[in-house]
């Protein structure tokens, strides 16, 4: 830091040049975040002082947090939203960490840490790459007796961090041709060291929803907690009913089952679902940072909550049981504001707008001879541009086109890892004009490349 500060004028000129270097979302098809609703921004400013880590000082904000949890539980089909238990986080990663931390604590507190059957685990997919396997900290016995978490192969990379942080093994279940987890594969991976199951509603790469009804049955049968990562899909799937895609979807390959969007069950109406994470800072149209973690009720945590509860003698509350300490009340206020202001009707319109973009996107793709790899159930579209003959060459071509779209035309799109495909997230800041311009540029690049 310099000894002497600079004037406000100088400072804000500097800030402007920094913000000019940031994106304004105009050509962004790669992000799961978007321009927040103005009421969220205003509420964020109004509550910039508020810290819900010290609840006695910010009783109003705490009341809002309780209401955000209740509204979210109701959106997530909770049979009794008032009994839902949760709090705001910084986003999907923190929510997932905390959900899995509770699974681990619950496992120990319910005395399930029994012996380990190495045979049943021999073909599991470890969260550690081969380098970390050879780390001397993990001699084969201690490594093999680690607790495990079972999740779809398509799970977000936050779970890799969680495995590292909490010292648990990730067992990755197989997926079907629509990139949804195969329930039998999940079940076959369960053993006595399993702490819980993960399902996804709105996968990062394809927007798919796993068959959560079946995962719920497995969770109940094996008495395991089931956490649903609905960071992206939580503000979409409940509002999809009214969106149709009928003129297009018959042209897209995929089985009949995959070609519908309504009535996807993924949340608390299914008895096996113990917790759900959902992010206001994604399709919730709120400000960054804002995630929500909700448990069915406090009792599903068993004595896990006591394990992370710490005494807070110098604060206005006796205990704190959240992962982080100081938490932004401004994010609570912003989520409260946008959820109250839009209501279900507003979110339905938002989802409907995005699905209309998806329809337009598909029509534009057809003009250049392309179509989505799978039926886009929500507003993420994956498109293969390779020959389908040589996978390595297809990955290379996809990466080359992705890079050229950015370098030559300024379009931010991403590429999927599961298969070689370009990935487009059609967020509310996107317009049909943007889509037409992007597809035009993509068509030109493909012609030049072939």
Question: Binding residues for ligand PLP, per CB under 6 A?
Answer: 32, 91-93, 156, 158, 200, 202, 204, 229, 231-232, 279, 291
Tokens of 266: 């993924």
Q: How far is the CB of 93 from ligand PLP (least distance, A)?
A: 3
Our CB check for ligand PLP shows the closer of 282 and 360 to be 282
Q: How far is the CB of 231 from ligand PLP (least distance, A)?
A: 4
Q: State the Cα–Cα distance between residues 235 and 347, nearest whole angstrom.
A: 7
Q: How far is the CB of 204 from ligand PLP (least distance, A)?
A: 4
Q: How far is the CB of 233 from ligand PLP (least distance, A)?
A: 7
Q: How far is the CB of 408 from ligand PLP (least distance, A)?
A: 26
Tokens of 333: 């206020």
Our CB check for ligand PLP shows the closer of 148 and 158 to be 158
What separation, in Å, do the N-terminal and C-terminal C-alpha atoms of the chain show?
Answer: 53
Q: State the Cα–Cα distance between residues 162 and 342, nearest whole angstrom.
A: 34
Our CB check for ligand PLP shows the closer of 65 and 229 to be 229
Q: How far is the CB of 331 from ligand PLP (least distance, A)?
A: 12
Q: How far is the CB of 112 from ligand PLP (least distance, A)?
A: 27
Our CB check for ligand PLP shows the closer of 193 and 275 to be 275
Q: How far is the CB of 307 from ligand PLP (least distance, A)?
A: 23
Our CB check for ligand PLP shows the closer of 127 and 291 to be 291
Q: How far is the CB of 63 from ligand PLP (least distance, A)?
A: 25
Our CB check for ligand PLP shows the closer of 103 and 442 to be 103
């Amino acid at each position: 830091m310099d000894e002497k500060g600079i004037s406000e004028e100088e400072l804000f000129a500097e800030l402007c040049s920094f913000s000019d270097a940031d994106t304004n979302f105009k050509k962004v098809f790669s992000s799961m975040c978007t321009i927040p609703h103005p009421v969220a921004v205003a509420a964020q400013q109004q509550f910039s002082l508020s810290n819900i880590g010290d609840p006695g000082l910010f009783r109003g904000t705490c009341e809002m947090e309780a209401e955000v949890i209740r509204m979210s539980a109701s959106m997530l089909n909770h049979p009794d939203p008032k009994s839902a238990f949760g709090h705001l986080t910084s986003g999907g990663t923190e929510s997932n960490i905390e959900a899995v931390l509770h699974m681990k604590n619950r496992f120990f507190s319910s005395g399930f840490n029994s012996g380990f059957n190495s045979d049943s685990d021999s073909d599991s997919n470890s969260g550690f790459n081969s380098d970390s396997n050879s780390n001397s900290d993990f001699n084969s016995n201690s490594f093999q007796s680690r607790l495990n978490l079972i999740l779809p192969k398509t799970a977000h990379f936050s779970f890799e961090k969680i495995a590292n942080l909490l010292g648990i093994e990730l067992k990755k279940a197989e997926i079907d041709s629509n990139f949804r987890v195969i329930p039998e594969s999940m079940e076959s991976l369960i053993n006595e060291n399993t702490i819980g199951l993960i399902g996804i509603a709105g996968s990062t790469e394809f927007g798919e929803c796993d068959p959560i009804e079946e995962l719920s049955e497995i969770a109940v049968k094996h008495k395991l907690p089931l956490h649903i990562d609905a960071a992206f899909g939580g503000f979409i799937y409940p509002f999809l009913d009214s969106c149709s895609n009928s003129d297009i979807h018959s042209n897209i390959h995929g089985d009949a089952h995959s070609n519908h969007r309504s009535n996807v069950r993924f949340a608390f109406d299914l008895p096996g679902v113990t917790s759900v994470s959902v992010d206001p800072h994604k399709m919730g149209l709120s400000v960054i940072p804002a995630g929500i973690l909700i448990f069915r009720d406090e009792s599903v945590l068993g004595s896990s909550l006591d394990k992370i509860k710490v005494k807070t003698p110098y604060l206005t509350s006796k205990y704190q049981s959240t992962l982080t300490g100081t938490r932004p009340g401004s994010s609570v206020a912003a989520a409260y504001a946008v959820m109250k202001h839009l209501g279900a009707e507003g979110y339905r319109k938002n989802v409907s707008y995005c699905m209309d973009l998806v329809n337009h996107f598909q029509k534009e793709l057809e003009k250049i001879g392309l179509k989505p790899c799978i039926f886009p159930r929500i507003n993420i579209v994956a498109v293969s541009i390779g020959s389908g003959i040589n996978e390595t060459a297809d990955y290379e071509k996809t990466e080359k086109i992705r890079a050229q779209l950015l370098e030559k035309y300024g379009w931010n799109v991403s590429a999927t890892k599961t298969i070689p495909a370009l990935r487009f997230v059609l967020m509310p800041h996107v317009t049909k004009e943007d889509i037409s311009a992007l597809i035009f540029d993509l068509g030109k690049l493909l012609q030049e490349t072939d």
